[in-house]
Amino acid sequence: MFAEMEPVNNKNLEVVGFTLASMIFKQAKNTLGWDWLQERFKHMHDILRESPIYQLILQEGLQILRQAIVDIVQVRFPDLVAWAEQKIAQISDPTLLRHLSVEVVTAQSAEQARRLLLDH
């Protein structure tokens, strides 16, 4: 399928093909095919990242990370929740959000948590 699509150079078709292949290999528990597809993914990574569905999934993941940080703040430093929600909503880097969640959960005081959020 991929060999047939390459000459056409239609990135949208490649994304659809990759998505369908991943579903088929996973459902069939075809580990050889799945391993091959994962290797193929490395070469298609940029194409997939640019796809609208990838961006939609990424936004959903970012929202989950943001909500996790807000939940931590709610439990540990409830007075900072409204402020933290505004600050966290501005962050779109998943790695930064992940690091921030660890930092906020280990903060020793509300002031330290506030400084951590300010610094990011």
Distances, alpha carbon 38 to alpha carbons 21, 26, 43, 70, in Å:
11, 11, 9, 34
Please write the tens of the pLDDT for every residue from 75-118.
Answer: 999 999 999 999 999 999 999 999 999 999 999 999 999 999 99
Choice between 100 and 49, residue whose per-residue pLDDT is larger? 100
Domain boundaries, the chain: 2-50, 57-119
Q: Positive or negative CA dihedral for 22, 25, 29, 30?
A: negative
Q: Mean pLDDT for the chain?
A: 86
In the chain, at which residue ranges do the beta strands (DSSP E only) sit?
none
